[in-house]
Structure 1
């Protein structure tokens, strides 16, 4: 198989009448999805969109979003997700950098185009999407992922599960989060249904619980911090049985205690298999696989991520790129078929993070881990100042750049901290003059940053503590 459209069209022949997408009261069969996506692809072609061009997709969680993604790929183009909730300045930066002239959901409607049959001529090296992640220099960066990258993920990961056409995958995540790639294409690759979780259910654990039961969802992907809220809703409702077959974690360190408690609340014969998959956008969603069996849940490894997928290799290296001995801490370097093409229009950053050693191309993750005696990996922490908040990657320096531009702010530093009442949150420490107002700073940040990157709490200081080298002493900030 050379491309995602080829995979999709093959399954449309196998499963034409099976349900492909469910969104509330709306359903699309594989044949209906192919017709709608094919019509959109033909319209993009009529508008001059060519192979390899970047097309924006500006749609909320809906069946339309799935049609748009498949349609853009059927046209031979690659899609760039543009979350409607993002600040206008950020969307403008992404649109201008990618030179996007056609955006589905904005100047190109999803529906209403003449029917057409489209057979794209694509290969594994063609770009499938560009997803923007937080940037350490204050500028977000777009990661270019190819059809071959995604196909390698599906080829390596799906055989590790017992999945098929009878499954129903929750599309829980925004298309701006690459977990959605795994959710959509794993379903479409196996003839299963994509069940769209609407905006309300994605934010309300009680509504999500109702949706899982009502729509008979069998496969749910979750960021651990979000899953903890679902557990509370499940317990509040008396721990009703669920149709889940697989519960797949990613995006953050897994919570073994919470997972164990949730599984114990369900009848033994109806417990889903829990899986932890460590991954990075630049290595195409998932890089490792680990079943969270009873021994693992009770074990001494607080953050087990297992072994790399068969399509990937993982080495742990010191700051000079030298492999560290087993048992010692090193940075995760990932090689193999899932390693993305690089960052769009960012050659210098691409060369810095995607490196070739002894003829093998690696991605330097910035994550620290340790190889255990059994050969599996234990995730430890970030090596730089990138953090994960509710599964979303956040470069703290990007927030600091925005804060320094706020009224009255002289200097700023941001930390991810924990609060017993609200959990993890971003705290901004600011050295500010008399004109500083936290509410105004929050509003100014919201004009340039996505909502999940706007600090929750502001702490004013006369000055920020410095290390002997003159840099901000982050360890001293929250003391």
Structure 2
């Protein structure tokens, strides 16, 4: 692509007032470039635009109007970008409905988000128990004839609602608008030397907000999105082969997942990859694993970037280009500096803490989400105003380093990040306590000497419970929770450990959950 065309794409990002408008402006500059590569299929920007237009018209014909919410019950394939863009073109916000979720979870999301319409396969929707909604199929084939859509969204409209784990046992939907995503793209893309010639892996689950960055940062630059099928994403050896064969240049990874990918790459005798950027997010970065992966790299190694950000601040809030000195330095999880469209302070109960001291990270600026769907009290609790500035209280601990950058130090509440997903331990505990075999339950995360992490449930059983309930409890949890929230292991205990004040002793709980005392584990 010529420099003139690249400049026109940059201008499109600056001018766009909504995500559909951004797509239309970019597609007009590069209509015949590949936009999406799926196994056995390629969609150009023109074809992706036509397919999403058709879907938007069918949604409007089905009664969807601007400001509505539409579920996306789609596998990881070319139909997913079609679905996202089509819903947005119809003026609605999309709500991810991962087909791998238990039917009970999907029904909860449909009810909580008041979804009347879902994009997906009707048979699959019925199989998931979603009988009371209209199902509109995405169509990536056919022509683009049809009337021009009117009443298009603008920056004030919601773009998506992504559900995060809830401490009360009820997942909460975070509402993010077009303006927040556009603000992220305008602030973060200049920090990457990417262009239309890049190939971005669509690796993250679309229920994980990193998928928003993977798709829209790619499309905003006229680049190509390479869909990574779910079965490939779960198999490190196959993923390494896929990255090489599809010449992926930008790859996002959760640190704990990447550990297995790095081992698979080494086991395959380090096949050459086209990676230019390796972007980490979702949990604390593992610097030693990155160093080993880059060791002996043939040719110019990829630039490694560590990004941090809660869903409530629209995917990312900070950026850190990791250097060789960072990989061997004393800072365990450097997250860098806050993005240009945001500001951050580190606070405790008394106010802003001095540099170097640990506190809770508060974030303000154009990327802060609108709040939680139909949860005004929770929104008021987490999105607070101080001296006329609206902050999101992340619940994450951090400190300001001598150079002004930030170090991530973990959570200050019961929320954990495991394999890139945010999990409220209280939600998992509430589900387990709902089973007749369980009198009390507490959940923790353990880390093995090899660095692997597991979600472990310590349970106090009811009087008539069998001695080894792991299989039963695992099956029950899998019917209520997404896969990533189902405990890997179950430890039967007589009582849960308490502190002197009668509260659950989380530190002692981790000791009880040690691997040598495990009674069951997932297959």
Q: TM-score range by the shorter chain?
A: over 0.9
Contact 1:7 1:189 survives alignment (8 Å): yes
Structure 2 counterpart of 1:221: 252
Q: Give CA-to-partner distance per residue, 1:400-459, whole Å, 9 cap, x none.
A: 000101122111100011124681001111111231422111111111111111111111
Matched, 1:407 2:441: no
1:443 aligns with 2:475: yes
Structure 2: give runs of 5+ residues left out of the alignment: 1-15, 123-134, 512-523
Cross-structure match for 1:256: 287
Cα shift at 1:119: 5.4
- 1:180 aligns with 211
Q: Secondary structure at the match of 1:258?
A: helix
In the other structure, the counterpart of 2:161 is: 130
CA distance in 2, matches of 1:234, 1:291: 22
Counterpart-to-counterpart distance in 2, 1:359 and 1:115:
49
Offset from partner CA, 1:64-119 (integer Å, 9 cap, x none): 01100000001111000000111111111110111111100041010178733435
Q: Is the 8 A contact 1:50 1:76 kept in 2?
A: yes
> CA offsets, 1:172-223, max 9 Å, x none?
0111111100000001000001100001111001111111111110000000
Deviation at 1:120, TM superposition (A): 5.1
Q: Which residue of 1 aligns with 2:138?
A: 110
Q: How many residues align?
A: 477
Q: Which residue of 2 aligns with 1:99?
A: 114
Aligned residue in 2 for 1:369: 398
Unaligned runs of 5+ in 1: none
Q: Which residue of 1 aligns with 2:322?
A: 292
1:233-312 alignment runs, 5 A limit: 233-267=264-298, 269-312=299-342
The alignment partner of 2:43 has SS state of strand
Aligned to 2:239: 208
Q: Is the 8 A contact 1:218 1:245 kept in 2?
A: yes
Per the alignment, residue 97 of structure 2 pairs with 82
- 3-state SS of 1:277 partner: strand
User: Where in structure 2 are the equivalents of 1:294-443 lying within 5 Å?
Assistant: 294-320=324-350, 322-420=351-449, 423-433=452-462, 434-436=464-466, 437-443=469-475
8 Å CA contact 1:5–1:120 kept in 2: the answer is no
2:457 & 2:451 partners in 1: Cα distance? Answer: 16
Residue 485 of structure 2 corresponds to: 453
TM-score normalized by the length of structure 2: 0.89
In the aligned structure 1, how far is the partner of 2:71 from the partner of 2:31? 28
Find the aligned partners of 1:64 and 1:420 in 2 and give their Cα distance: 41
- Tell me the residue number matched to 1:189: 220
Do the aligned residues in 1 keep the contact of 2:433 with 2:440 (CA within 8 Å)? yes
Partners of 2:436 and 2:221 in 1: CA distance: 53
Does the alignment pair 1:154 with 2:169?
no
SS of aligned partner of 1:375: coil
SS in 1 for 2:308: coil
Query: Any conservation in 1 of the 2:244–2:271 contact (CA below 8 Å)?
Result: no
- Which deviates more from structure 2 when the two are superposed, residues 295-304 or residues 28-37? 295-304
Contact 2:88 2:153 in 1 (8 A): no
Map of 2:26 onto structure 1 = 11
SS in 2 for 1:227: helix
SS in structure 2 opposite 1:478? helix
Cα RMSD for the two superposed structures = 1.3
**Distance in 2 between the 1:163 and 1:214 partners?**
20
Inter-partner Cα distance in structure 1 for 2:107 and 2:449: 37
